[in-house]
Structure 1
Amino acid sequence: MSHRRLLWAYPAAYRRRYGTEIITLLLEMAEDGRRPGRREKLDLVLCGLRQRFRVPWRRPLALLGAALAALALGAAGAVAGTWTGWQTATDLPSQQQIRGLSEDLSGMGGTSIEPWSTAMSGPAVSAGANGQNSYSPQRIRDALAAAGWHVTSLTESDSRFVTDFTTVPWTTIPARTVTFRAAKDGLVLAGSSNTQADGRAAQGFDIWAEHTAAVRPLTITGLVLGLLAGWLLAAALAARPRRGRTSAVLTVTAIAAASVPVVEAYRATWHVMIYKTSNPNPYVAYTTGDWIPAALNPELTVPVWVMPACALVSVLAVAAGLRVSR
């Protein structure tokens, strides 16, 4: 490895200021027969990396901006890692396949389909139908088997359905319910079918991808890479500061913009890490015995577009603030 390549470990500004001096020293050592060994080269590279991560400790705004940038990009990296991990899971059936399965299971049309995400941020979809039909557990067994699903459980039960809440007591009619669960090539299906005595029926089921071994390692990898990238970005921008009162406003803007996506992203990451893969309920990330910080309350949800938009605003504000802060 040439001497100049070793200097690539240092920031560009540092190379411009001290690069010639370092190269001259290395050449003089070589002329004296003291060529840098592996240890010296490693020390040189490590010193360069330390310079890249260095943020002026006497500039609180720069430090705050570096921490914020690291947290923001760490959150984005974790989300990206989780998404990448789930790409190794089995694909969900197409909407046409889900609609066909729903019609075969229920014997009714008008299926509604709604995609969603499990508590571990995995792909899932719900399907439901309502109408008039007869009670038939065997129809459900046959439809699942014909579609290649292996039925793991099917339970029948009797119940009563409320038809009028204004009476005392409520008016009810008998109903029968079939609860079923099946598996197929890394996918899980769970649902129920309810048929009332008057022939009115309602059926719904969920399909979701089972947990894959790649999700958690890639989530952690994305988190670490994001933290490092955020700090490096802040350190690079802090290397050439300019005076300006605008820095305080930009920093406050960055904090406000980052708060929603960062909390939401770390909440999702927390759920990914604590999710019990043996849990039969994909909606639940943890049990009542698990502890979760109040700041990561699972009730906090935001639209999908809010997180990347706020994260982008935050990073841009951090970048601008670091360039004008001192």
Structure 2
Amino acid sequence: MPAGSEGFAVAASTGPTMPGRPVVTGLERRYRRLLLAYPAAYRRRHGDELITTLLDAAGTDRVRPGRRDTVDLLRGGLRQRFRLPVGKAPVAVAVFAAFVFGALGAGTGSFLGWCTTPPLRVDQSAAQIAGLAIGEPYVGGFSRDDRWQLRAVKVEAVDPRYIAGWTSTSAAARFTAAGWTVEPTGPSAFTANRGTLRTWVTGPLPAAENPAGVVMWPDPSAAPVSVVIWPAEPAAVTAGVVTGWLAGAVAGWLLVAWVAYQLRGDRSWARRGTVAILAAVAVLVLFRPVLWTYLLIVTGAVLSPDRWGPPSPVYVGFIDSDAVAVPLFGLAAVAAACLTAARARPTPSHDPEDLVHS
């Protein structure tokens, strides 16, 4: 043993050692922490071998892992966690799971982003906005679309009235004079923006000349004035959707990789069949909310739906008030499949790629 190595081993140990037990140095403990980047099964099969190789290469004068060793271990651990069994089916399932859980993560990020803005309330300002729209004091009530999370997606005047001589041009001029930014969206509609509020105003169409005397029912020139108010989308929503989607996609891929390796080599066909059935049920149940979530993402990113009224937040794809139990049932099926897979007893892998760790 080289001179000075005894002193290093004693200094690096955490306390007294038992006779016959090897001294655990601080360097070894740090290496073992880095090995947590690898899956547990991989650590059981190759952890001691890796630690021995790393300690032999480190020498006796090193107390912390080098930068190169740290990067190699973390990179190798992530590669092992993201690896899938050989074949096209695991890759297809992992990609699908990434899209499903990505949608769920995007919805969660959208909801958390909306939580950064104060809830929309019906107060005196709502009545003032409605008064600007109709051109006289508004004394009616408002309806709230609260969904299940008690955060109003929109507030709408429930007592619209036909205002003789009303035009969108005059209404837009009143909003502009009050400090709103107005954007026309049709011959008798416009969107007004100010601060954290958006307002959509629609009213009767201008009376058109009708020399043929054709009677139109209902008469579009006698329509009431409609006022809808909703909060402006905070900047945190976009960041939440992107971050949530990435986190969900990664989680979905890792979940499929874990289940696939759990079931690989397991001799219980009943267990495998149960996992497959539960996964199919989850796919069927989650198909609608996943599709709806991606449609909301694309619509919000491409079409600017607030030109025609309040857009639906991305999170309503999964937690809509009319079907909040549906995604919960699908996620319950996923959880049941994972619990079933956790009981599998996979055979030890002899894949040569398992030996690659850097």
Range class of TM-score, shorter chain: 0.5 to 0.7
Matches within 5 A, 1:99-248: 100-101=127-128, 104=131, 107=137, 109-115=139-145, 123-130=153-160, 150=180, 152=182, 182-192=192-202, 202-241=224-263, 242=266, 243=268, 244=271, 245-248=273-276
Matches within 5 A, 1:28-67: 28-31=56-59, 37-58=66-87, 60=89, 63=91, 65-67=93-95
Q: Which amino acid in the other structure matches residue 187 of structure 1?
A: L
Inter-partner Cα distance in structure 2 for 1:254 and 1:179 = 43
Inter-partner Cα distance in structure 1 for 2:183 and 2:259 = 59
Q: Which amino acid in the other structure matches residue 125 of structure 1?
A: V
Inter-partner Cα distance in structure 2 for 1:79 and 1:73 = 10
> Which structure 1 segments of 5+ residues have no match?
158-177, 286-297
Q: Is the Cα–Cα contact under 8 Å of residues 154 and 230 in structure 2 kept in the other structure?
A: yes
Inter-partner Cα distance in structure 2 for 1:209 and 1:304 = 24
Identify the match of residue 338 of structure 2 among 311, 319, 322.
319
Q: CA deviation at 1:73?
A: 1.2
Q: Which amino acid in the other structure matches residue 11 of structure 1?
A: P
What SS does the corresponding residue of 2:159 show, helix, strand or coil?
strand
Q: Is the Cα–Cα contact under 8 Å of residues 74 and 226 in structure 1 kept in the other structure?
A: yes
Inter-partner Cα distance in structure 1 for 2:183 and 2:254 = 53
Inter-partner Cα distance in structure 1 for 2:341 and 2:155 = 44
Inter-partner Cα distance in structure 2 for 1:72 and 1:153 = 37
Matches within 5 A, 1:70-109: 70-88=98-116, 91=118, 93-97=120-124, 100-101=127-128, 104=131, 107=137, 109=139
Q: CA deviation at 1:219?
A: 1.7
TM-score in terms of structure 2 length: 0.61
Q: Is the Cα–Cα contact under 8 Å of residues 264 and 307 in structure 1 kept in the other structure?
A: no
Query: Which has more radius of gyration?
Result: 2
Match for residue 298 of structure 2? 270
Alignment partner of 1:281 is 2:303:
no
> Which structure 2 segments of 5+ residues have no match?
1-26, 206-221, 347-358
Change (3 A) 1:324 1:214: same
Count of residues in correspondence between the two structures: 281
Q: Is the Cα–Cα contact under 8 Å of residues 187 and 210 in structure 1 kept in the other structure?
A: yes
Q: RMSD over aligned Cα, in angstroms?
A: 4.5
Q: Is the Cα–Cα contact under 8 Å of residues 105 and 245 in structure 2 kept in the other structure?
A: yes
Q: CA deviation at 1:221?
A: 1.8
Change (3 A) 1:59 1:207: same
Identify the match of residue 14 of structure 1 among 42, 47, 51.
42
CA shift digits 1:276-315 (9 cap, x unpaired): 38x6334689xxxxxxxxxxxx9xx993515632541352
Inter-partner Cα distance in structure 2 for 1:216 and 1:153 = 23
Inter-partner Cα distance in structure 2 for 1:132 and 1:275 = 31
RCO higher in 1 or 2 (8 Å CA, sep ≥ 6)? Answer: 1
What percent identity do the matched residue pairs reach?
30
Q: CA deviation at 1:69?
A: 3.0
TM-score in terms of structure 1 length: 0.66
